[in-house]
Structure 1
Amino acid sequence: MDKKLKHTIDYINQQVGKNSGFSTPQNYFEEIEETINTSIFIENFPKKKIFNTPDGYFDTIEGQIQSKLAIEQEVTKTKVISLRKRVLQYIPTVAVASVLVFIGINYFSSQKITFEDITITDIESWYENGYGKIDNTEFAATLNTLELEEDILASISDETLEDYLSSVDTPTLINEIQQ
């Protein structure tokens, strides 16, 4: 088998230096498609002039354009309203609106609210709706300033405490303590 392989290699080496009689020009296959497309385009291209300009067209075109522009400028002239006139138009409206706002503020603010008018329910609602925020340090400072009765736990009976603890759900109580 090595003998056959050696003969094949020798044959190929002999053929490389020889001219087979067939040859193509350099870059033939790269340029053939472009050459064919160009020749087809040239054959199909019209032989006569399609686009003609009238005689003296370029001599008269400038005048025609200028006359059309002059006509358009006359048509599109608009009335210019100055900024001063525009502001003067809105001054009466602004004056009336400001008088109405002044009257409305004075009418609705005539009611005086005092601390006696605010109930504990209003304050609780205010905190529950997120209008008031208090952190633990502020709460602790408030508790320190309050004068608490020493017998606050003595006022709670054992039965009341047992009823409360039996009515409260244990996981809920644990969650409240952890928070």
Structure 2
Amino acid sequence: MNELNNKNPFKTPEGYFDTLSDSLKDRLSEVEKGLPGKDGFVVPDHYFDGLQGSIQQKLEAESKKVIPFHSYRKYYYVAASVAAVILLAFVLNRNTSQKVTFEDIANSDIENYFNDSELDFSPYEIAEVIPIDELEIGDMLTENLNEDSILNYIDYHTENAEELNMEYDE
């Protein structure tokens, strides 16, 4: 910082500040000579005495009818809401005309319902509901049984296959 102060390129002439105040006074006296001697605006005599009364008379006399710009906005809102309600009523009524029947439900959905939900039905309770006359073995099984798979099952799950009184074709 000191280096900057020592190398200041600006210099003032000698005795400049001694004569500064005199030069400012001379310039101000020249400016005052150019100004007009009297004011350009004049207020009439007793103007402020009757000002309040004249303003009050003008305010009372100028009661004009005002036309609002947005007077119909509330009617637009009402019309839009009525149209929305009518449209919603048509959409909801159109979708309720189709009723879902038991035949519309896919068999896989029914099976998934019974598999996923724990209904705690015993096999005897289910057998009471299902008619046996119309029931076939193929309705209960997903795979077709052949004779070999039945014999393999019996051999594996029974200890004494001879107790079943089966005749083997060996």
TM-score band, normalised by the shorter chain? 0.3 to 0.5
* Structure ranking higher in helix proportion: 1
Higher relative CO (Cα under 8 Å, sequence separation at least 6) belongs to 2
Q: TM-score, normalised by structure 2?
A: 0.34
